[in-house]
Structure 1
Amino acid sequence: MSNVTRYLCAAAYLDGGFRDRTLGELLFDPFRAVPPSYGGFDLMPVIHHCRRSRTMLVVRDCLITAFFVIGLLIAPLSTVTWLFALVPFALLTVDGVRRGPLFLRVLIWLWAAYALFALLFLVILTEVVTVVSGLFSERSPYEDFYGLDAPSTAGGGSLAQALLVPVVTLGIAVVYRIAIYLTLAGTLRPGTPEPISRVTNPKTGRRLDYIRRAQWGNVTMYANEDAFMGAGSIERSWSIAVELDRVRDGQTSRRQDDPIDIDPVELHAFVRARLVDMRDRVLRPNEGIQRLDIGDHVVTRGIFTVTDWHRDRAPVAHPFIDKDGLPRFQATPEEIAAIARHPQGGVRYYQRVTINNAGQEIRDLHGNLVAPAEDQEALTSAFIYLAVEGRMLYTQFVVTVLPPAFGPYRVVDRLPTMTGGRIAWEAVKVLRLRLLRDVLAAPVRVVRTAVQAIRQNVTAPDPRKHIVYPYGSRFSVRELGASEDLQTHIQVLDVAKYVRMIEQRLTEAVLDFLEERRVETGAYRLQAASVTMNTVSVGAGGTVSGPIAFGQHASATVNNPKPA
């Protein structure tokens, strides 16, 4: 497994919200589309560990709930007191309380101290009452004969009953956390192979098989406005439009009645060949961009009318829904060509260029290793849109950046070097008060899990019962587990480097293609210089009024003073 895949597998155990959202998005609705996976990320191991983590969690919560029930039967007073003692500690883990006023936290800590004191007092009182009652009870002749100490025996039993539920429930929570960290240190260590998933439920097996194939498709169906789902957030975008009815004759340009015929499919192929040269046609192997991947990116909003097409007078599903009623994830070359030639259609085609900053190893002239390959984990993607429309050629360039995985998930790289005792300490140290919250919330989670299971079995999604059905993906699992931003300045510089290289290659390729067909490219060159060099051209006699800003994340404001 790649590093980012391992890190998001760890998120399945370390982040309950990540696990629940992943399973809810990918497994609950068998008709929901799957966003693409880029840069070596694989969804299948993440789903495997999310399902395994959920199973371990359900077992833990059921055991804790069972001991609560036993405690209410044999020692109800101490069990209720233990639950009462857990409430303030659970409140102290709530973000609103932790970030709230100090006075509120002090009150809750006083409540927690009082609850612990009440629990301790109850245990001592139970022990004292049992011993005293044993002293004044009538001793049996059998006890005298066998030398039994009735007060001490009864007192030990009552103490064990009083402490049974607190000790066992808290112990189950601690053992669960240690088991989680041992799993992270064992099955998710660097170099771990992909796990083998064994599925007994045929419905789940069919869904997993669909996800396995769909994540490598070229069709993205989105439920929101993110047409580049799975590639990160948009970092840069620009567009250029040039007339196709202006040609160059020698040193002069003129307009003609009929525009020059430009096929966007041929232009895409021309640009693709120029981009592939950056990887394959270099003087030396170390000069090629080894992790450059070029593919097709077909996007459509995944909300379709279930029976809005007719074939032989019979209503049928949308063409992007296959015969099994599932969203299609692979468009054919013929379909891609048709989409590229119809810019006003509901489906759009982009040529995707992805660079995985995995790096390459460094060797000297003698072949000796100087430095191994280092995975920067950041992913840079460029999406190129070319459209011929209204006697114009429109070029759109969109850059997205996907940061590395969230920092705490990287604990799987440190745990394998630790001893078993150190791993256990790390497991308990990270949670602290949340261990007590997990004990208190166990019965609630058991009930919630049972209700969700019943609801999923009773209310299974069925597009045939709807006129309009939302097939589109709501979010990307890879993006869900990503950091908020790039983590090193080298990653920032690498993104800027690859963006500049790709957009320069794209611009020169389009210019060469247009000049071969005698299209006047002066306007294109002027616009390209403006967008690539972050400049603005002002014509003769033109003026700029008001604030103006250039560059990435630039902003400009104006402060109008109030009249005196």
Structure 2
Amino acid sequence: MATIMSNTTRYLCAAGYLDTRFREAVLRELTRDPYRGVAPSAGDFDVVPVVRHCLRARRLMAYRDLLVSLVIAAGMVLDFWRMVSWLVVLGGFVWFRHSRRGGPVVVMTLGVLLMVKVPWLEALVSGQPVDLGTMPVGMSAIALTLVVVAGFRVRSGVILAKRLRAGAAAPPVDDPRLDYLARAQHGNLTLSKRAFIGWGEVRETWPAPGLEPPEGTDVFVAPGVLEPTSPLLDHARPVITVTEGARCYRRVVLQDDEIIVTAFLRADGRYGEVVVTVLPPVADDYRLADLLPRGLVKIARGALSVRREELAVDVLLAPLRLVRLLAPKARRPDVAHDYGARLSVRELGAGPLTCLQELDVQRQVTQLRERLQPRTRLTQIIPEKIH
């Protein structure tokens, strides 16, 4: 029976189509290295559908980059200077979006002048009469680059509207790596350079003498990588060891809407400590699947209205992305690295807290601090919100 994806999972699946940096970071972390550890998935988030949709989005964008590269190559052959001028204009536009200074404007103006005046400049240099025969061909190639990237953007919007709508089912797990991710994301051992990865930033810490940890999930936090005998890594190399001893915490999750506040509690004799982390909701840019209406025209309008400046980036960087995809960096099989998790997919897609959400978080942390006095059990804290 198919599992219904949570809203958080759906939004981060959509991020694979909407954000190239997000997609490549997820795939680089979870698919490139078979021995890489996995950050825990907080709340009802499932990382497996996100990886599957990121892989599908990469294939879709590879076709787009291939078509754009072929159009650019054809434009170079048929009307070299006009196509070069178009790329200069796109480069100036992308530069302007990041700097907003005079230099990019000069570059774009120069590119437009070259695009329009190229036939006259060529005639002036060669001494031949003006030939406007190639101008429609060159302009058609320029327009076709935008048509291709816009068409693939609309195709992504259709996927979001149909396959990532509310109530959509998660795709089946039919790959050994995805099966490993499904198991490892819910393991009770976190190995990374940042102790509480996957649960957001550490908001507050304080000592709690005489702490009596309540009922909750026992988790272990350690820098390094998994032991060779760990069931979470069936194929770990014999040289992999945990660099330091793991600390055991009792984890209690206080979830309010899409904000996850987590308390990690540890009692070691008379000494106790409390670590509170906060994980914000998913960024608003990735919620497009809930905003797209029905109908191809409306879907196209909604898909093209988001991150419009990236259409220029998609044209400009298409050849480079295609080369990077076809020539991945090889790994040396005889070199051992730190295989702990480097990033959390859920944290990577989180957005900033609004003012009201920040107040809610502060209220929960204050209530937690007041009730975690010596000899006070955490089960007295708003039990209806403890999951």
TM-score range (shorter-chain normalised) is 0.7 to 0.9
| Residue aligning to 1:478 | 346
| Residue aligning to 1:183 | 159
| Residue aligning to 1:23 | 27
Distance in 2, Cα, partners of 1:47 & 1:110: 42
The root-mean-square deviation of aligned C-alpha atoms, in Å, is: 3.1
Give the alignment of 1:45-444 within 5 angstroms: 45-73=49-77, 75=78, 78-94=79-95, 97-98=96-97, 100=99, 102-118=101-117, 129=131, 161-196=137-172, 205-222=175-192, 224=193, 226-241=194-209, 267-268=212-213, 271-272=214-215, 294-303=216-225, 320=230, 324-326=234-236, 346-357=245-256, 376-388=257-269, 393-415=270-292, 417=293, 419-444=295-320
Residues 118, 432 of structure 1: alpha-carbon distance in 2 compared, 3 angstrom cutoff? farther
CA contact (8 A) 2:203 2:278 kept: yes
Give 1:430 deviation, angstroms.
Answer: 3.5
Give 1:33 deviation, angstroms.
Answer: 0.8
Distance in 2, Cα, partners of 1:211 & 1:124: 62
Distance in 2, Cα, partners of 1:380 & 1:322: 26
Report the secondary structure of 1:430's partner residue.
coil
TM-score, scaled to structure 1: 0.59
Deviations 1:410-448 (A, max 9, x none): 222111x25432332333343445323322321111111
Give 1:508 deviation, angstroms.
Answer: 5.2
Residues 90, 501 of structure 1: alpha-carbon distance in 2 compared, 3 angstrom cutoff? same
Deviations 1:28-54 (A, max 9, x none): 111111011111011011101110110
- For 1:441, the aligned partner's letter is L
Equivalenced residue count is 365
Residues 118, 33 of structure 1: alpha-carbon distance in 2 compared, 3 angstrom cutoff? same
Deviations 1:242-294 (A, max 9, x none): 6xxxxxxxxxxxxxxxxxxxxx9xx54xx32xxxxxxxxxxxxxxxxxxxxx3
TM-score, scaled to structure 2: 0.83
Give 1:55 deviation, angstroms.
Answer: 0.4
Give 1:114 deviation, angstroms.
Answer: 1.1
- For 1:228, the aligned partner's letter is F
Report the secondary structure of 2:317's partner residue.
helix
Report the secondary structure of 2:145's partner residue.
helix
Report the secondary structure of 1:93's partner residue.
helix
Residues 127, 444 of structure 1: alpha-carbon distance in 2 compared, 3 angstrom cutoff? farther
Report the secondary structure of 2:254's partner residue.
strand
Deviations 1:485-539 (A, max 9, x none): x2251x3343344334444554354589xxxxxxxxxxxxxxxxxxxxxxxxxxx
CA contact (8 A) 1:89 1:433 kept: no
Gaps of 5+ in 2: 238-243, 379-387
- For 2:224, the aligned partner's letter is G
Distance in 2, Cα, partners of 1:179 & 1:88: 26
The percent of aligned pairs where both chains have the same amino acid is 34
Distance in 2, Cα, partners of 1:413 & 1:473: 31
Give 1:123 deviation, angstroms.
Answer: 12
- For 2:28, the aligned partner's letter is G
CA contact (8 A) 1:127 1:159 kept: no
Distance in 1, Cα, partners of 2:233 & 2:158: 45
Gaps of 5+ in 1: 131-154, 199-204, 243-263, 273-293, 305-316, 328-344, 358-375, 513-564
Distance in 1, Cα, partners of 2:13 & 2:254: 23
CA contact (8 A) 2:189 2:220 kept: yes
Give 1:98 deviation, angstroms.
Answer: 3.6
State which structure, 1 or 2, has the greater radius of gyration over its C-alpha atoms: 1
Distance in 2, Cα, partners of 1:323 & 1:475: 18
Report the secondary structure of 1:81's partner residue.
helix
Residues 322, 189 of structure 1: alpha-carbon distance in 2 compared, 3 angstrom cutoff? closer
Give 1:384 deviation, angstroms.
Answer: 0.2
Give 1:241 deviation, angstroms.
Answer: 3.9
Give the alignment of 1:436-515 within 5 angstroms: 436-452=312-328, 455-456=329-330, 459=331, 462=333, 465-466=334-335, 469-484=337-352, 486-489=353-356, 491-507=357-373, 509=375
CA contact (8 A) 2:254 2:260 kept: yes
Report the secondary structure of 2:326's partner residue.
helix
Report the secondary structure of 2:190's partner residue.
strand
Give 1:399 deviation, angstroms.
Answer: 0.6
- For 2:347, the aligned partner's letter is E
- For 2:179, the aligned partner's letter is D
CA contact (8 A) 2:258 2:281 kept: yes
Distance in 1, Cα, partners of 2:261 & 2:203: 9
CA contact (8 A) 1:379 1:402 kept: yes
